[in-house]
Amino acid sequence: MCLLLVSTAIALPSTRTTGPRGVAAATRTVKRDRQVLRFFANHAWLFADPRFSAEARRQVAAHRRSLRLAERFLSTHHRTVVRTKRRLVRRLAAAKPETASQTICRVFGPNCSDAIVVAYCESRLHTDARNGQYLGLFQMGVLARQLFGHGSTAEEQARAALHYFIASGRDWSPWSCRPR
């Protein structure tokens, strides 16, 4: 019988990369490391067999270390994203007179920060933004505008987006831009 496992040496440097690729790599590393650790938890006999015990212990230690690094990277990345999102929401909500972001906050209430992030990503908070059939703050398509309404003001567009948001189960799946 032969014990063959992929070394974690490849996974460790990938967690140092930043941006979407680093997050994706760290997520894959976490998944793989958990899978390997589950394997060893379900095959404890490998630790008792002298032919495999040294390699099994080495693999478990390496995957635990790799898992710890990847989870730490993801945690740090998440905190950074949340902090940046809060800063953006505060800055946009503080603008005068009532801006699109303040209107969105008034309309969306507790979902204000996520709605601003989506609208900023979709249209940079411009009510006259256009991308083919998609229009407005939330870049709603023809069918969505027919079902939920639309208008030329931030108020009308935010209300239409709120109705769409509620109809979709209070998630952001209809939009290509989603909050983290």
Query: In the chain, what are the domain boundaries?
Result: 11-89, 96-167
* pTM for the structure as a whole: 0.52
CATH of domain 96-167: 1.10.530
In this prediction, residue 178 has a pLDDT band, given cuts at 50, 70 and 90, of: confident
Query: What one-letter code names the amino acid at 77?
Result: H
Q: Which residue did the predictor score with more confidence, 137 or 180?
A: 137
- Provide the pLDDT for residue 97: 56
- Give the burial string for 93-122 (b: 16+ CB within 10 Å, else e): beeeeeebbbbbbebbeebbbbbbbbbbbb
Tell me how far the alpha carbon of residue 129 is from its chain's centroid.
Answer: 25
Alpha-carbon distance of 58 to 7, in angstroms, equals 10
Q: Which residue did the predictor score with more confidence, 67 or 20?
A: 67
Alpha-carbon distance of 103 to 115, in angstroms, equals 11
- Provide the pLDDT for residue 179: 84
Q: Which residue did the predictor score with more confidence, 168 or 88?
A: 168
In this prediction, residue 85 has a pLDDT band, given cuts at 50, 70 and 90, of: confident
In this prediction, residue 9 has a pLDDT band, given cuts at 50, 70 and 90, of: very low
Alpha-carbon distance of 79 to 94, in angstroms, equals 23
The neighbouring-strand residues paired with 130 are 135
Is the per-residue pLDDT at 40 higher than 70? Answer: yes
- Provide the pLDDT for residue 12: 46
